[in-house]
Each structure stands twice: as structure tokens, then as C-alpha cells.
Structure 1
Amino acid sequence: MGPRVGLIGLGSMGMGMATSLVKAGFETWGCDLRPEAREQFAAAGGHAVATPAEMATEVEIVLTVVVNAEQTRAALFGDAGLVQASGGLAPGSVVISCATCAPEAVRELGAELAAHDIQLLDAPISGGSVKAAQGQLTMMTSGPAPLYERTGTVLDALAAKVFRLGDQLGQGSQVKLVNQLLAGVHIAAAAEAMAYGIRGGCDPQTLYEVITQSAGNSWMFENRVPHILAGDYTPHSAVDIFVKDLGIVHDTAHRDKFPLPLTAQALSQFTLASAQGLGREDDSAVVKVYPGITLPGSAANDPG
């Protein structure tokens, strides 16, 4: 019998991860404020609760799959959090932090948990909602070696590849921020390239076929441009995720007076898209900030 596992945050990534744990045979608790998410998880065979406190005494390994460090802290130490709950998370338990956070924020959370004799594994994730549901994520992890023995079967159920990036908290998060820098810049560049090509009279589908067979291709171009071609901006990962993540990248570098000009420009493009009301659309919707072009499945963008 494996460890009893909890997962906080049944969003596009968390739901797939939680159902992957159920499929792997773990008794799994899933937490989300939204009744529809809880109903979906319960139908998949999990124990669904509305607050972290409700699962605190039931689980020994907990994954936090929320938006940022602030939400992670609330899940752990808030009024209905895991650690503050009466009879809360037992000493010796493990928290696996999967949110994109600044490295120093992860180290601070680790120190606060250690005061309660709870250990933290820094384990941000990549791969999107499809790979989450398939148990095929990439995890960028760091933490004390003994934690991997305790959590190994759980990580294996979630990820195709678990990178062990050192024994210090924050090292996994730093690598994740490098990934998010590239992912955000590549999406913004793909959108700009498609907008430029469409403005120049290229057929969008043909342009996609040529670029994906040419040196200008990127993983993000190949993955995201089909959303543009279909005119389908249902969020697999939303615009506002990159407003957040590139914001973290930019802030950590700015603090150290380290220049990131491409990050700053991509962040501006995602922020503009969000300001135009596109924040909850797929991140490929950043293409809509370009005026005077007709995107597949839509009328011409407002040139104003």
C-alpha cells in the first residue's frame, strides 16, 4: 500500500495530476474551492474536499499545484491551511511544491515547514494539461536526498522525467524560471511571426507547415500555432500564466540588476493581451494584440 497523497489545486494541471495518482493506485485526496472540480475528481475515484484543512489528517504527502508562492503559503498556513488546521498535517509529512515560485520564496516556505517538522521538496512542473493527465510531466526538483526515497513512487506516477537538480531548495525553481523565460519568449515570438506573415499575405496553414520544417521552428511554435490556425483559444495554459511567470523571472533578475530585454518585451506583450481582456484565453491569444490582420476563424483585428 502506497502513501496517502493529497493534491491542492484541481485546475488544468492539478486535475490531470490527481487523476494520474488515482490511476496509479494511490488513495488520493483532492482539494479545490470550485464544486465542479470536486465533483469531477470524485467521479474519477478520488476523495474531494473544499479546504486543505479537511485533508490534513488523512495524508502524508501533499502536492501544492497552485498559481504562485502566495497561494502555496495560504494552502499551508492560511486559516483553513494544512499546517494551521487543528490536528493538522502530521510531523514527518512531506509537501511537494509544484507552483512556479522565486527560489527565495521556496527556501522561506521550507524553513517555515521545517519548524513544524514537515519537509519540503521543490518540484515545479512542465508539460501542460495533456501530459499531466497522462502522468508524463517533467519535474524540476531539488531537496534532501532522503525525500526522494519517500516520494519516489508518487513522482514516478506523475512524471516521465524527474530531474534532480541538487539538495538545496530553490534550485528546481530556478531551472523552472529559465524554462518559463524561454517558453514565454518563444510563444510571443511565434505570435509575432504569424502576425507578420499573415500581414504579408502568407496563408497561415502553409506558413505553419513550412516553418515547422525549417530552422525557425520551436517547440512552442509547433505546439501553439495550431490553436491560432483553429481559431480556438480554449486555455491549455492561459495568457495570465505568462503575465505571472515572466513577471517572476523579470523581478528576480531586476533585483540583481541583471538585464533580460527579451523577457521584458515578451512580458509587455502578454500584459497588453491581458489588459485587452484576453487574460483567461489560451496563451497563443497574444497574437490578437497585432492590429489590422485577419486571424483564422475571426474578422480583422481592430486596428485601433
Structure 2
Amino acid sequence: MDKHSVGVIGLGAMGGGMAGSLRRAGYSVHVSDVRADAAAAFARDGGQAHDTPAALAAHCEVIVSVVVNAAQTEAVLFGRDGCAAAMKPGSVFVMCSTVDPHWSAAMEARLLEKGLLYVDAPISGGAARAASGEMTMMTSARPEAYERCEIILHAMAAKVYKLGDSAGAGSKVKVINQLLAGVHIAAAAEAMALGLREGVDPAALYEVITHSAGNSWMFENRMAHVLAADYTPLSAVDIFVKDLGLVLDLARASKFPLPLSATAHQMFMQASTSGYGAQDDSAVIKIFPGIDLPESNS
């Protein structure tokens, strides 16, 4: 087994970029995805595609999982042809999904019982930053796990924050980040919707807000999608139904009130129920009545 080999499972908007960053850094990258064509396409430019996580695990002592949620991570590890049973003792599983922090801590303990190390490593920054190696990783792990994979983490991310010596802390910080991201998108959509309702030119509104104190990264990024009438899902409405649900679950356990998060969650749920769940999360603006949204020029 080559110590310069790294496995990446999940080649979506983020995982594909991360695998590319590893390849540029000189690693031998082994990939697997439920979409066999995605893995094969990556391998054509360098790397090796595998049909299953188990097949990939035979070649790598560090495996990076970039799937959507906890259920998919469970399947990657312990489902049919999962990688856990095929991983060599002492190998590291880097979990990059947004999940319940308590679930992540329990997964670390579960893998330790099998002699495997675990890094709680949710990610942020979007597909473009993942592709350029400029994303952020919010990590927590045992020191021996860091020792085996920290250089690999830095090959994928510009910022690797070490937030604790056991799993869970990284996921807590990611959940809090998602609180802000979801609320900011909901607020951006509400502001743009009000402007449309009041007859303000949307392009002019966007120009002014992005150069004023009311701007946010999410307004600038997501309202550009609205102006272009492009709801191709880089991050879908249903992702924030899930992630803001995790935010509320975390706070509910300690009876901590989150009124803005709860309202934003309801907005994303309304958008999903209205049929926009698979569209870009900026489609939350479509829940507002009586507005005419920009139309595509293409």
C-alpha cells in the first residue's frame, strides 16, 4: 500500500474539486462514486477509479469521504461493499459531511474499536474554492489521526482549523456556520423580494447592496443566481432543510432558542414543499408572492 495514495469517495461539487487538488499536489488519487461515470471521468486525467469503497480501501491508508449526510457516510463505511472492513488498522477516515456533532463523536468511537482513526472534518467555501484548494476545513481529531493525514488536509484546503482532540468540535463549528449561511441566504432572498415587489431594478439593487453595509457573502453570491435566473443547484434548497434542521436539533438538546434559524428553516421547507427542493438554495426567493423574478436572457 502506497503511503502517497489517497482515496476520495464522493465526487460531487466539493469532492471532485478536492480530488483534483490532491492530484495537483502529486498524490496518487483513488476515487469512487455511486456514479461510475464520474469516477471514470476523473481517472481519465490521472488517478484510479474503483467500483466500490471497499475496492478503493485496499489501496489507501487515508480515505476522504465527501458525501451528503450521515446516512450516506454510514453506507460508505458499513453498507454493502463499505470501506470499513477493508481498511488496514491504523488507517484514517476523514469525514467531510455536515452531520450531527454527537453522531460524529460516536462514529469516532465506533471506528476506534476497529483500530481505525477518524477525523471530523466538515468543509466550507463552495465548489470553486474546493477546486482551487482554497476551501476551509473545520477539524477535530485525535493527535495520532492528525499525524497521519494533516499534510493531506492542507493539500485540499487553504485553512485547516484544528478545533479539538476528539471528534465533534469540528461539526459543532460547521453547524454554527450553517446557521449563519442559511439565515443569510433567507435574509438576502427576503431583501431582493421586497425590492422586486417595490419595483426597484434588481440589478441596480444588487449593485448598491454589494457596495454597502447591508451586504453579505451570501447576498453577493446567491442573488447573482437570481439575477441570472439560474437555479442550477450548486447547493440545493434541501441541503438547508437538512442543515438548519441540524442547527435546531443541536440547540433543542440544551433548550437554546434560535428564532432566526427557525424562521429560515421554515422558509426553506416551504420552498422544498413547493417543488424547489432540488434547485439552488437561492430558489428560496420563489416562496414570496406577488413578485416577478428576473428571467434568463438565454
- How high is the TM-score relative to the length of structure 1? 0.94
1:2 positional shift: 5.2
- Does the 8 A contact of 2:3 with 2:61 survive in 1? no
CA distance in 2, matches of 1:130, 1:2: 28
The corresponding residue for 2:108 is: 110
* C-alpha deviation, 1:148, in angstroms: 2.3
Task: Tell me how far apart the structure 1 counterparts of residues 120 and 204 of structure 2 sit (CA, whole Å).
Answer: 42
* Partner residue of 1:141 out of 127, 135, 139: 139
1:211-238 CA-to-partner distances (Å, cap 9, x unmatched) read: 1111111111111111111111111111
Contact 1:19 1:44 in 2 (8 A): no
- Residue of structure 2 in register with 1:302 after alignment: none
* One-letter amino acid matched to 1:109: M
Matches of 2:45 and 2:150, distance apart in 1:
23
Tell me the CA shift for residue 140 of structure 1: 0.4
1:80 is displaced (CA, Å) by: 1.1
Q: Does residue 168 in structure 1 map to residue 169 in structure 2?
A: no
- Residue of structure 2 in register with 1:68 after alignment: 69
- Cα distance in 2 for partners of 1:281, 1:46 equals 31
Match of 2:202 among 200, 204, 217: 204
Aligned 8 A contact 1:238 1:281 in 2: yes
| CA distance, structure 2, for counterparts of residue 107 and residue 156 of structure 1 | 23
Q: Name the aligned partner's letter for residue 47 of structure 1.
A: Q
Corresponding residue number in structure 2 for 1:127: 125
Q: Give the paired residue count.
A: 295
For residues 295 and 265 of structure 1, the distance between their equivalents in structure 2, rounded to whole angstroms, comes to: 22
**Structure 2 residues not aligned, in runs of 5+:** none
SS at match of 2:205: helix
Structure 1 counterpart of 2:192, from 171, 191, 194? 194
SS for the counterpart of 1:142 is strand
Aligned to 1:58: 59
| CA distance in structure 2 between the aligned counterparts of 1:275 and 1:51, rounded to whole angstroms | 34
Q: Show the counterpart of 1:256.
A: 254
Q: Distance in 1 between matches of 2:271 and 2:75?
A: 28
Structure 1: gaps (5+ residues): 299-304
CA–CA separation in structure 2 for the residues paired with 1:46 and 1:273:
39
31-40 or 241-250: which moved more? 31-40
Q: Secondary structure at the match of 2:141?
A: coil
Aligned to 1:301: none
The structural deviation recorded for 1:77 is 1.2
Partner of 2:49: 48
User: Alpha-carbon deviation of 1:152?
Assistant: 2.0
Percentage of pairs with the same residue = 56
**1:25 alignment partner in structure 2:** 26
1:280 match: secondary structure: coil
Aligned pair partner of 1:213 in 211, 214, 226:
211
Identify the residue that residue 240 of structure 2 maps to in structure 1: 242
Contact 2:3/2:60, CA 8 A, preserved across alignment? no
Matches of 1:130 and 1:27, distance apart in 2: 22
Amino acid at match of 2:200: C
**Equivalent-residue separation in structure 1 for 2:286 and 2:99 (angstroms):** 28
TM-score by length of 2: 0.96
Match of 1:152 in 2: 150
